[in-house]
């Protein structure tokens, strides 16, 4: 399945042009969407997740017209937003069961199996009975991935997922994403160059709503060269 975005534009009511004629083609695997804060990444993600309407342009996921067939898109979409709601006092297992019901997994036995295997996959099974409020940032993100994978999505969107994670947790999260990326389209939106370098074979760079680069991932760049990297890509756009 391919994700195609054609000439998407979006201007907010305050006059900010968040997306300016964005065209991208994305194949299964890990795809990086890299850009500084305010570049337009979240706007693009929200449009793909059917939460926001563009002013013009088109988006297709395989045969699905993403701007018109929203229910079909939601059926094959997993989304881990930047802010993942409030964490109630319920346990990880109870919460995931609850979300699974909302996602339409009505068969009780199947639901239990799905929830348990997802908790195992994200390595939260040993603490499945603990309250979500007691989870660390990394554990919350892994829980976020588990909920995003309910219903076996074809497209998984993760928005700035490693913010606030320590290096160990970040690595664990990277590994999890790479494993998922073997089967589905995973779009990783981030301003962290390292995230994209380590994980994504294909990527695009977005700045001020425009695509400056779309193609192969780059060679890994040491963290202290990130500023150099960004000033170089900003020159590309000027
Ligand atoms: P990123 O995710 O790359 O940080 P965003 O898509 O959040 O970028 O934002 C792109 C631009 O649009 C920014 O200038 C931001 O201030 C503006 N913007 C985002 N959301 C809104 C909104 N709801 N109303 C007005 N402006 C917005």
Reply yes or no on whether the pLDDT at 234 is more than 80: no
Ligand 1 centroid distance, CA of 162 (Å): 20
Give the Cα separation of 98 and 60 in Å (integer): 30
pLDDT of amino acid 168: 85
Which residue has a Cα nearest atom 24 of ligand 1? 12
Beta bridge partners of 60: 4, 65
**Residue 238 DSSP class:** -
Sign of CA dihedral 203, 30, 188, 52: positive
151 lines ligand 1 (CB under 6 A): no
C-alpha–C-alpha distance, residues 148 and 225, integer Å: 33
Check pocket membership of 22 for ligand 1, CB cut-off 6 A. Answer: no
| Model pLDDT, residue 22 | 97
Q: What is the pTM of this model?
A: 0.86
Phi, psi (degrees; rounded to nearest 5) at 237: -85, -10
Read off the pLDDT band of 109 (50, 70, 90).
Answer: very high
Alpha carbon distance 40, 28 (integer Å): 22
154: DSSP letter: S
Query: What's the mean pLDDT in 131-152?
Result: 90
Name the band, by pLDDT with cuts 50, 70 and 90, for residue 216.
Answer: confident
| Residue 38: exposure state from Cβ atoms within 10 A (0-12, 13-18, ≥19) | middle
Give the span between the Cα atoms of 36 and 43, in whole angstroms. 13
Query: 25 C-alpha vs ligand 1 centroid, how far in Å?
Result: 22
133-147, 159-173, 211-225: least confidently modelled range = 211-225
**How remote is the CA of residue 190 from the centroid of ligand 1, in Å?**
14
Could you identify the atom of ligand 1 that is nearest to the CA of residue 189?
A: 2
Is the shortest distance between the CB of 41 and ligand 1 below 6 Å?
A: yes
CA distance 41 to 189: 6
**235 within ligand 1 shell (Cβ under 6 A):** no
Higher pLDDT, 234 or 93: 93
Higher pLDDT pick, 97 / 231: 97
Does pLDDT of 7 surpass 90? yes
Question: Is the CB–ligand 1 distance for residue 16 below 6 Å?
Answer: yes
Q: How far is the CA of 43 from the centre of ligand 1 (A)?
A: 6
Pocket lining: 37 vs ligand 1, CB cutoff 6 Å: yes
Of all residues in the chain, the percent with pLDDT exceeding 90 is: 58
Rounded to an integer, the average pLDDT of 115-138 is 93
**pLDDT at site 231:** 64
Q: In what order do the strands lie in the sheet with 3-11?
A: 17-26, 3-11, 56-61, 64-65
Q: Whose CA is nearest to atom 13 of ligand 1?
A: 38
Cβ(51) to ligand 1 under 6 A?
A: no
Could you tell me the CA-to-CA distances from 234 to 71, 218, 237 in Å, in that order?
37, 16, 5
Q: Is the pLDDT of residue 228 over 70?
A: no
């Amino acid at each position: 399945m391919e994700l195609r975005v054609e000439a998407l534009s979006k201007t907010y009511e305050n006059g900010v042009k968040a997306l300016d004629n964005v065209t991208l083609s994305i194949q299964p695997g890990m795809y990086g969407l890299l850009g500084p804060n305010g570049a337009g990444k979240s706007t693009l993600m929200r449009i793909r997740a059917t939460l926001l309407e563009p002013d013009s342009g088109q988006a297709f996921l395989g045969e699905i017209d993403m701007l018109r067939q929203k229910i079909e898109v939601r059926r094959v979409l997993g989304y881990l937003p930047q802010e993942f709601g409030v964490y109630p006092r319920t346990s990880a297992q109870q919460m995931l069961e609850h979300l699974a019901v909302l996602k339409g997994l009505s068969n009780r036995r199947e639901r239990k199996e799905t929830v348990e295997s997802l908790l195992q996959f994200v390595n939260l099974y040993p603490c499945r009975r603990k309250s979500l409020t007691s989870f660390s940032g990394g554990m919350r993100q892994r829980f976020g991935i588990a909920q995003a994978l309910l219903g076996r999505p074809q497209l998984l969107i993760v928005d700035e997922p490693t913010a606030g994670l320590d290096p160990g947790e970040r690595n664990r999260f990277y590994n999890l994403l790479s494993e998922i990326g073997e089967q589905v389209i995973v779009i990783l939106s981030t301003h962290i160059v390292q995230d994209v370098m380590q994980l994504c074979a294909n990527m695009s760079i977005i700045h001020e709503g425009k695509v400056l680069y779309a193609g192969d991932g780059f060679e890994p760049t040491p963290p202290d060269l990130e500023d150099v990297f960004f000033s170089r890509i900003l020159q590309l756009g000027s």
